[in-house]
Structure 1
Amino acid sequence: MIKYLSGYFTPSFLKKRIKNIEFFMRYPIEIQNKLIGQLILYAKNTEFGKKYRFHEIKKYQQFSERIPLCKYANLKSVIKRIRKGEKNILWPGSVKWFAKSSGTTNTRSKYIPVTPSSMNECHYKAGKDMLSIYIHNHPKTKIFFGKAVRLGGSHELYKNYNTFYGDLSSILIKNMPFWAEYICIPRKKIALMSEWEKKLETLIKETCGKDVRILLGVCSWLLIFLNRLLKKFDKKKINEIWPNIEVIFHGGVSLNSYIHQYNNLFEKSINYYDVYSASEGFFAIQYQKNVKDLLLLLNHGIFYEFIPVEEIDNINPKILSLDKVELNKNYALVISTNAGLWRYIVGDTVKFTSLSPYKISISGRTTHYINSFGEELIIENAEKALNITCLKTDSIIHEYTAGPVYMNKKNSGAHEWIIEFKKHPKNLCNFRDILDNELKYLNSDYEIKRYKNMVLGPPIIYVARNGLFYDWLKKHKKLGGQNKIPRLSNDRKYIDSILNMENLKNK
């Protein structure tokens, strides 16, 4: 159903979603308390619910005392049973779809259950809210006069059992409701192609001549697609191909590393809206234009808890409900969901930038950091330091990764960076020194470890050739979808693999 307003149109059901968003913003704790009660009630007769006597749980304190924290390793054998067709294990009924997690380039796969409840009441509901917020912020938008390009992953049948797995984006595309399918291109058959490079070429042909106004996807892969599009049609700006392009909805990796490249692709400014979506759920959406923190979604089938990041490795860490969190502190995210994940540690860290309403920024990963020497370097530090360094050196970074160099009897430790530049700095030593100083300024632990080179020496930087990271992902069959380069790693697994690929390790 289309409703016309002052010559512009928006689907009326999307516009009405704003009232629901404003309601959970106004009553966040009440909404969350009601939600956990509903999740427990719905799952009380499952194997998990019976084991932990869900029928006895009346208050959050009972829930927190009774249900243990878990990581994927704790669920692996249970999920294997569910994939074989066993019912009523973590969530009522059987589960047909599993999101094959590609959050890192780790070869060990995770299969996250995706139930009809999580699809409809989390992912698709959040998708409607994403568009509703945009309409609310841009009341004269014309995005629904044109099409949206979705850049998803691949989908395939798990052949031993009657279940399906693939990137979450592919599962959502496969089951997409009519209102979303109406505006989206390419066709499902193309969107679900597993061969990434063939998909790119087909996608370029499919979108040629279409009135594209929305882009959706992981910003690193969207950037590759847009550059190939320009090359294919020998154009300098995307507006020459799509004159009405208006907004990019992006997630998966931070836009900060790519924003200069994106701005160079368009002859007039467009809108960027960040979302925080993972295989486990759709957690948050940018609520205000030009304000990058994210509104936590509180009535989308996910109950949230938080572990102070300094407690994450403790046997019995402190766990906080939403009403106990504080501003500007790093927390590991814990979720209980309508897909049957109970007190599941996602692996991301967040900071609250506002408590009324509850808004967050993604500060990093519990496993993506460098802390080999007590320096506690997180993604947030790295991104800010690199952005400032690029501004000061008039350079642009395309991709990067970093890891530790371990100390020995002769040398202190260091951080080793592999950086692929879109625009090279004039002086690499100057770039290194500025990066080092910015990291010291942003992270006092790093600064202490850098004192007189006693623990950490200055950063070591390798300049990667153009396309190195892309080729590395291709070699490891990780092209497309939500695959991405790990920015920071506390071991040398990734960095050695990339260096060895170019025979750079001992140069």
Structure 2
Amino acid sequence: MPFNAIFSWIVKKRIHQIELFKKFPLEVQNELFQHLISTAAFTEFGLKYNFKDITSYEDFKAHVPLHEYNDLKPYIDRVIEGEQEILWPTETKWFAKSSGTTSSRSKLIPVTRESLEDCHYKGGKDLLSMYYNNYENRKLYNGKHLIVGGSAQVNYLSDDSYFGDLSAIIVKNLPWWAEIKRTPAREIALMSEWEEKIEKMAHSTIEEDVYIIAGVPSWTMVLAKRVLEITGKNTLKEVWPNLELYMHGGVSFEPYKEEFKRLIGFDDMHYVETYNASEGFFGIQDEENNPGMLLMLDYGIFFEFIPMEAYNGINSTQIISLEEVEIGKQYALVISTNGGLWRYIIGDTIVFTELLPYRFRISGRTKSFINTFGEEVIVENAERAVTMASRVTRAQVRDFHACPVYMENDKKGAHQWLIEFVNEPDNIEEFKKVVDATLREINSDYDAKRYKDMILEPPVFVVLPKGSFDQWLKTKNKLGGQNKIPRLANDREIAEQILSVVQVI
């Protein structure tokens, strides 16, 4: 039986299950919660916090404290050293190097067989299931799936235990039905030197019949442009005539969307966003014309939420369940997972756009904002402003980082934007004005601080040479894959580091 026929059968079965958790979300989450608690009851963590006595969500909140990475790190370190049944009862031998930090010390997130199969792989299958369900008679399995994975060096802790980017762990453990359709070859996909990797990816895939591309927008764009340079073609559609789907995640797609449309070169291309982190696969854009992602409720992840107006890290006291969330409010995401993370504050913030079913958008990071002067600028604000300025001035932004300029002597405060363009704006002054005006329009706190320049003066833009952010990432050994430039910071530490290693235009 051909792959497409097999997958069509799988799709119908899975879509029925998805419809069930869309209709009965709270029941599905409660059943999953009970399963997690009972499964881990006799781990060291479960014994410490009396999981066997927990019968309700209220018990769970009363027994188990909130955790950030450093709170769980002593447990994780012991698992890395080979101890088992610490956080989760089954053997844990893989650890995902988290892309959620650009600091010199990375987080290593446990990846169990359950979290790999019932969460990460399930998410990939579900994305294709929803796509097949939305667009009948597709033949994606006739061609290749081009995966622009992370800087995928695998570091062995022992003969059968290793760590690396999540994409490396996924590639090394892919089921056969996915592996035979993936391109490029594994030895290229697992390369850690990104300049060489992009070159080899481009040369090795231009003759393939690619139907799907998946990857972080910034690196996918670099690959796409190199493919066009090598082939002499104007669009990716000329290189891969059957290309029809781009699956993206990691950062907002809005600042990249127009450039991707130009590079791909035809209107019937489909773009689907996912929210797949080292800690778990959380969301899929199930309706292409609806920007909200469906919260995936049966992946072995129990969700909690901290309203950002009450956020105080692990000392937060207002933590709510899915049943209590509201549309339009910003929440810090808290997860308990089949990977052994318990009441873990992941560091991302989301906003719900619908409640039946539960759909959301990513709004930023708990520690990625500017609020030095009470302006409360979040990542979502900044990305909307850059997208609008790019559209007005026909620019294409590669990346940016914004931070405060402190009040000194008689000087007022301001925001400094370090920005790297793929295509520079027609008028840089106009670009600056649109960013400022858009922020004032969508953020009343920022507007109040900018009123007559009384607290905040107009933003200051520093245009960086191409490759500047990559140069900084290299100094952190973070170049490649899912590693991201922090879009906002409430201090100048990252900005000063970047400016110290690049030559400003």
> Which category of TM-score, normalised to the shorter sequence, fits these structures?
over 0.9
Following TM superposition, by how much is the alpha carbon of 1:249 offset from its aligned partner in structure 2, in angstroms? 0.5
The answer (yes or no) to whether the contact 1:237–1:266 under 8 Å persists in 2 is yes
Query: 2:482: which partner in 1?
Result: 482
Q: Which amino acid aligns with 2:173?
A: N
The answer (yes or no) to whether the contact 2:248–2:271 under 8 Å persists in 1 is yes
3-state DSSP of counterpart to 1:176: coil
Following TM superposition, by how much is the alpha carbon of 1:201 offset from its aligned partner in structure 2, in angstroms? 2.0
Following TM superposition, by how much is the alpha carbon of 1:443 offset from its aligned partner in structure 2, in angstroms? 0.7
Q: What do the CA deviations read for 1:269-299 (whole angstroms, capped 9, x no partner)?
A: 2110000010000000001022211000001
The answer (yes or no) to whether the contact 1:155–1:171 under 8 Å persists in 2 is no
Matches of 1:3 and 1:493, distance apart in 2: 51
Following TM superposition, by how much is the alpha carbon of 1:160 offset from its aligned partner in structure 2, in angstroms? 6.4
Matches of 1:396 and 1:200, distance apart in 2: 21
Query: 1:376: which partner in 2?
Result: 376
3-state DSSP of counterpart to 2:154: strand
Map 1:296-335 → 2, pairs under 5 A: 296-313=295-312, 315-335=315-335
3-state DSSP of counterpart to 2:292: strand
Match of 2:26 among 24, 29, 40: 29
Query: 2:254: which partner in 1?
Result: 256
The answer (yes or no) to whether the contact 1:126–1:282 under 8 Å persists in 2 is yes
> TM-score, normalization: structure 1?
0.96
118 and 414 in structure 1: CA distance in 2 versus 1, 3 angstrom threshold:
same
Following TM superposition, by how much is the alpha carbon of 1:470 offset from its aligned partner in structure 2, in angstroms? 2.6
Map 1:135-174 → 2, pairs under 5 A: 135-153=132-150, 154-159=152-157, 163-174=161-172
Map 1:132-281 → 2, pairs under 5 A: 132-153=129-150, 154-159=152-157, 163-269=161-267, 270-281=269-280
Q: What do the CA deviations read for 1:404-449 (whole angstroms, capped 9, x no partner)?
A: 1111222111110011223323332232222111101111111112
Q: Which amino acid aligns with 2:458?
A: P
Following TM superposition, by how much is the alpha carbon of 1:51 offset from its aligned partner in structure 2, in angstroms? 0.6
Matches of 1:463 and 1:195, distance apart in 2: 26
Higher mean C-alpha deviation, range 319-328 or range 399-408: 399-408
Match status 1:419 vs 2:416: no
Query: 1:433: which partner in 2?
Result: 433
Higher mean C-alpha deviation, range 443-452 or range 58-67: 443-452
Matches of 2:502 and 2:148, distance apart in 1: 30
Q: Which amino acid aligns with 2:300?
A: G
Following TM superposition, by how much is the alpha carbon of 1:502 offset from its aligned partner in structure 2, in angstroms? 2.7
Matches of 1:151 and 1:331, distance apart in 2: 30
Q: Which amino acid aligns with 1:92?
A: P
Q: Which amino acid aligns with 2:248?
A: H
Matches of 2:122 and 2:4, distance apart in 1: 23
Matches of 1:149 and 1:465, distance apart in 2: 29
Matches of 2:483 and 2:266, distance apart in 1: 30
3-state DSSP of counterpart to 1:430: helix
Following TM superposition, by how much is the alpha carbon of 1:398 offset from its aligned partner in structure 2, in angstroms? 2.1
Higher mean C-alpha deviation, range 460-469 or range 73-82: 460-469
Query: 1:397: which partner in 2?
Result: 397
The answer (yes or no) to whether the contact 1:2–1:11 under 8 Å persists in 2 is no
155 and 426 in structure 1: CA distance in 2 versus 1, 3 angstrom threshold:
closer
Following TM superposition, by how much is the alpha carbon of 1:168 offset from its aligned partner in structure 2, in angstroms? 0.4
Query: 1:362: which partner in 2?
Result: 362
Following TM superposition, by how much is the alpha carbon of 1:124 offset from its aligned partner in structure 2, in angstroms? 0.7
Matches of 2:72 and 2:168, distance apart in 1: 23
Matches of 2:397 and 2:131, distance apart in 1: 29
Query: 2:443: which partner in 1?
Result: 443
The alignment covers a number of residue pairs equal to: 502
> TM-score, normalization: structure 2?
0.96
The answer (yes or no) to whether the contact 1:85–1:161 under 8 Å persists in 2 is no
Following TM superposition, by how much is the alpha carbon of 1:161 offset from its aligned partner in structure 2, in angstroms? 7.8
Matches of 1:440 and 1:3, distance apart in 2: 52
Map 1:59-98 → 2, pairs under 5 A: 59-98=56-95
Q: What do the CA deviations read for 1:158-217 (whole angstroms, capped 9, x no partner)?
A: 346852000001101100112211321122222112222222222223213110010011
**Identity, % of aligned pairs?**
47
3-state DSSP of counterpart to 1:94: coil
The answer (yes or no) to whether the contact 2:402–2:489 under 8 Å persists in 1 is yes
Map 1:99-118 → 2, pairs under 5 A: 99-118=96-115
3-state DSSP of counterpart to 1:258: helix
Matches of 2:118 and 2:70, distance apart in 1: 26
Following TM superposition, by how much is the alpha carbon of 1:140 offset from its aligned partner in structure 2, in angstroms? 2.5
The answer (yes or no) to whether the contact 1:83–1:161 under 8 Å persists in 2 is no
Q: What do the CA deviations read for 1:314-339 (whole angstroms, capped 9, x no partner)?
A: 63430010000000100000000001
Matches of 2:4 and 2:469, distance apart in 1: 47
Specify every segment of 5 or more residues in structure 2 that has no aligned partner in the other structure, as ranges. Answer: none
160 and 128 in structure 1: CA distance in 2 versus 1, 3 angstrom threshold:
closer
Specify every segment of 5 or more residues in structure 1 that has no aligned partner in the other structure, as ranges. Answer: none
3-state DSSP of counterpart to 1:155: coil
Query: 1:290: which partner in 2?
Result: 289
3-state DSSP of counterpart to 2:30: helix
Q: What do the CA deviations read for 1:227-264 (whole angstroms, capped 9, x no partner)?
A: 11111222211112111110001111111111111111
Matches of 2:209 and 2:75, distance apart in 1: 46
The answer (yes or no) to whether the contact 1:418–1:462 under 8 Å persists in 2 is yes
Matches of 1:298 and 1:110, distance apart in 2: 25
Q: Which amino acid aligns with 1:140?
A: N
The answer (yes or no) to whether the contact 1:44–1:53 under 8 Å persists in 2 is yes
420 and 2 in structure 1: CA distance in 2 versus 1, 3 angstrom threshold:
same
The answer (yes or no) to whether the contact 1:17–1:128 under 8 Å persists in 2 is no
The answer (yes or no) to whether the contact 2:69–2:107 under 8 Å persists in 1 is yes
Q: Which amino acid aligns with 1:272?
A: Y
Matches of 1:3 and 1:143, distance apart in 2: 9
